[in-house]
Amino acid sequence: MADALVSYLPFVSEYWLHIATVIVGFALFRVLKNALVTTTTKNSKKTRVGCQLDSYDLSLISEDLSEHDLVAAQDASNGEDNSPQILYKSVQYTAEETVSRAAKFYSAINRRRTLRHFSARPVPLAAIHSVIKAAGTAPSGAHMQPWTFVVVQDADMKSQIRAIVEAEEEINYRQRMGDRWVHDLKDLNVNWVKPYLEIAPYLILVFEQVHGVTKDGLKQTHYYSRISVSIACGILLAALQEAGLCTVTSTPLNAGPAIRRLVQRPTNEKLMLLLPVGYPAEDATVPNLTRKALDEIMILI
């Protein structure tokens, strides 16, 4: 038998020790690699199980994924749903009630307008707590809740924010935006002077946590953070409208980093929206805009 092996497989018989070493070495490498990935995931502390990530397009989940993040994401995609299940207390409406409630909500939200003229009338802080809690109910990729709402009520801080925004906006309007953008804004009667940033009782600064940071200082992937924060902002706007408050949905172009430093938020947070919040001024006016009709925005297939 041994002679037959030698004659048929001379290479194996001569180098069997080397071959065995390579096989054992490879097996050891696989075991160590698996152990390392498991430890990294455990270190991240945050619970990523309980979410189905198979449908997540990894190229879209974050703008700056590192290799470590991708490992974490793929690992999470294999996670079992370990979160305890609780009964969902559903409210069942009749078909008529459903139609009526949907129409009522539309009627209320259709009154929402971007208001650029605020009253200085104080707004109870309890109302701000509720609208932000409402925003915090938004769905988010893998339930990472990648948002921070900084509420500024301090007059001096509001003045500093106004100064930063107006300085940047003047450059935006004069140099960065270009003729077409400035022309498109003509009917809205907006420019870089924004007194409402000091008049409105509150400024809500909405920060997107581009990624999280674990207690151990590791980078925690936030899946679809921009989309998640945008949904939270939509709910926030609806909640403000319901409370009789108004806002200007504004994206302070180029002012984000300076404002982030001013309010001392960490570098993993990016300013997405600046929302002055208050009651409308009694003589407030709005541009006479129309909204697209249903048949222009909905296709039934």
Ligand X SMILES: Cc1cc2nc3c(=O)[nH]c(=O)nc-3n(C[C@H](O)[C@H](O)[C@H](O)COP(=O)(O)O)c2cc1C
**Cβ neighbours for 243, distance < 8 A, ≥ 6 positions apart:** 127, 130, 131
**Cβ neighbours for 110, distance < 8 A, ≥ 6 positions apart:** 291
User: How many chain residues touch ligand X (CB under 6 A)?
Assistant: 11
Residue 248 engages ligand X in binding (rule: CB under 6 A): yes
| Shortest spacing between CB 276 and ligand X, in angstroms | 10
Output 69 or 166, the one with its CB closest to ligand X.
Answer: 166
Residue 8 host element (H or E): helix 2-8
Q: CA-to-CA distance for 125 and 116, rounded, in angstroms?
A: 21
Output 70 or 177, the one with its CB closest to ligand X.
Answer: 177
Residue 99 engages ligand X in binding (rule: CB under 6 A): no
| Shortest spacing between CB 113 and ligand X, in angstroms | 4
Residue 249 engages ligand X in binding (rule: CB under 6 A): yes
Nearest to 73 by CA among 189, 219, 207: 219
Query: Rounded to the nearest 10 degrees, how much is the dihedral formed by the CA atoms of 111, 114, 118, 122?
Result: 70
Residue 236 engages ligand X in binding (rule: CB under 6 A): no
116-155 residues near ligand X, rule: CB under 6 A: 116
Residue 251 engages ligand X in binding (rule: CB under 6 A): yes
Nearest to 148 by CA among 46, 72, 252, 233: 233
| Shortest spacing between CB 248 and ligand X, in angstroms | 5
| Shortest spacing between CB 151 and ligand X, in angstroms | 19
Q: CA-to-CA distance for 199 and 218, rounded, in angstroms?
A: 41
| Shortest spacing between CB 292 and ligand X, in angstroms | 11
Residue 289 engages ligand X in binding (rule: CB under 6 A): yes
Q: Interface with ligand X by CB under 6 A: which residues?
A: 113-114, 116, 188, 190, 248-251, 286, 289
